[in-house]
Amino acid sequence: MKKNTVLFILFILPIVAYLFFASGVNSYTKLPIITPKTNDFGNWTSLSGDKVSLKGKVTILGFGGNDLLKNRGNLFNLNQKVYQRYHGFKDLQFVYLCPIGTEKDAESVLKALGAFTNTSQWQFVFTSPEEINSYYNQLRLAEKLDANFGTSNVYILDKEINLRGRKEKKEYKEGYDTFHPAELSNEMLDDFKVILYEYRAALKKNNNASRKI
């Protein structure tokens, strides 16, 4: 009996512990809604001149502010840690809302990203600082925009434009700090996988229902 117990502690328990921690810290099968039914964008222009909608897409939303070029390292972190892994998911877009007047800065950032990334799912949208503040406020976030109408955080919006994150008091998470690559590699990727699981499970369920019909 003692021999079996020792073998369990030495060999089996470490494997169980590894599998537990490797599965990620987020045990959700459905990522909670932080703010339901947030607004879509107004008739604001993107770099391509097209209107960008948040409806029907999983959106990683950021606020570039007037210091977009200065803080471009944050976008490179996001690109490396998240975008490059998942930009093959066709219903995904990375959108930065920026003040009018920062178009040239956004072009420079996009050009730099394009040197080693397919940037087809990156979008930069421009409107007035007042509209940016108004849009941000309706998300009902704990953090505020800085004096330049930006933040290093990005946010996950689902296809119904619900803001998603973690609601438990000890690990409350409404946004993910792009300044810290480790946070993107751990908390954000963990939560993003849950969103993808939701949609893949729903798609599989719908396909099975169609076959039965």
Q: By CB neighbour count within 10 A (0-12 exposed, 13-18 middle, 19+ buried), where does 181 fall?
A: middle
Contacts with 115 (C-beta within 8 Å, 6 or more apart), sequence order = none
pLDDT digits (tens, 9 = 90+) for 146-180: 999 999 999 999 999 999 999 987 889 999 999 99
Tally of CA atoms within 13 A in the half-sphere of 189 that contains its CB: 20
In 3D space, the residue among 179, 145, 175 whose CA is nearest the CA of residue 157 turns out to be 175
Q: Which CATH superfamily is domain 30-212 in?
A: Glutaredoxin (3.40.30.10)
pLDDT per position as a tens digit, 62-115: 999 999 999 999 999 999 999 999 988 889 999 999 999 999 999 999 999 999
Which SS3 state, helix, strand or coil, does residue 115 take?
Answer: coil
Helix (H) or strand (E) holding 122: strand 122-127
Model confidence at 199, in pLDDT bands (50, 70, 90)? Answer: confident
Which residue reads 């169609």 in tokens?
210
Beta pairing, strands 58-64 & 150-157:
antiparallel
60 forms beta bridges with 94, 156
Taking 60 as the threshold, does the pLDDT of residue 25 lie above it? no
List all residues 6 or more positions away from 15 whose beta carbon is below 8 Å from its beta carbon: none
Q: Cα–Cα distance between 58 and 162 in angstroms, integer?
A: 10
| Average predicted confidence (pLDDT) for the chain | 87
Higher pLDDT, 207 or 106: 106
Predicted local confidence at residue 170, as pLDDT: 84
The structural domains of the chain, with segments of one domain joined by +, span 30-212
- Three-class DSSP category at 61: strand
92 alpha carbon, distance to own chain's centre: 10
pLDDT > 60? residue 8: no
Q: Which of 160, 76, 153, 159 is nearest to 122 (CA)?
A: 76
